[in-house]
Amino acid sequence: MTATTTMTATQENSGRWQVNELDSVSDADLEALTDILCDCVEGGASVGFMLPLTREHARAFWQRVAEEIAAKHRVLLVARDAQGICGTVQLILDLPDNQPHRADVAKMQVLRRARRMGLGAVLMRAAEAAARARGRHLLVLDAVTGGDGARLYERLGWTRVGDIPRYALWPSGGYVGTTYYYRDLSS
Q: How much is the pLDDT for 14? A: 62
Distance, in Å, from the CA atom of 87 to the CA atom of 118, rounded to the nearest integer, reads 11
Which residues of the chain, if any, have pLDDT below 70? 1-14
CB 158 within 8 A of CB 138: no
DSSP letter assigned to residue 11: S
Q: Mind listing the pLDDT tens digit for each residue in 31-57?
A: 999 999 999 999 999 999 999 999 999
Residue 13 CA: distances (Å) to CA of 10, 16, 113, 144, 167: 7, 7, 19, 28, 35
CB 130 within 8 A of CB 77: yes
Q: In what order do the strands lie in the sheet with 12-13?
A: 12-13, 18-22, 74-81, 84-92, 102-110, 138-144, 175-184, 159-169
Q: How much is the pLDDT for 13? A: 56
Count Cβ atoms within 10 A of the Cβ of residue 119 and give its class: 0-12 exposed, 13-18 middle, 19 or more buried: buried
Answer yes or no: pTM beyond 0.85: yes
Q: How much is the pLDDT for 8? A: 41
Q: Which domains does the chain have, with CATH numbers?
A: 12-136 (3.40.630.30)
113: helix, strand or coil: helix
Q: Mind listing the pLDDT tens digit for each residue in 91-114?
A: 999 999 999 999 999 999 999 999
Q: How much is the pLDDT for 15? A: 74
Computed on alpha carbons and rounded to an integer, the radius of gyration of the chain in Å comes to 16
CB 83 within 8 A of CB 111: no
Residue 36, amino acid: I
In sequence order, what DSSP letters do the residues of 122-179 get, joined into one string? HHHHHHHHHHHHTT--EEEEEEETTSHHHHHHHHTTPEEEEEEEEEEE-TTSSEEEEE
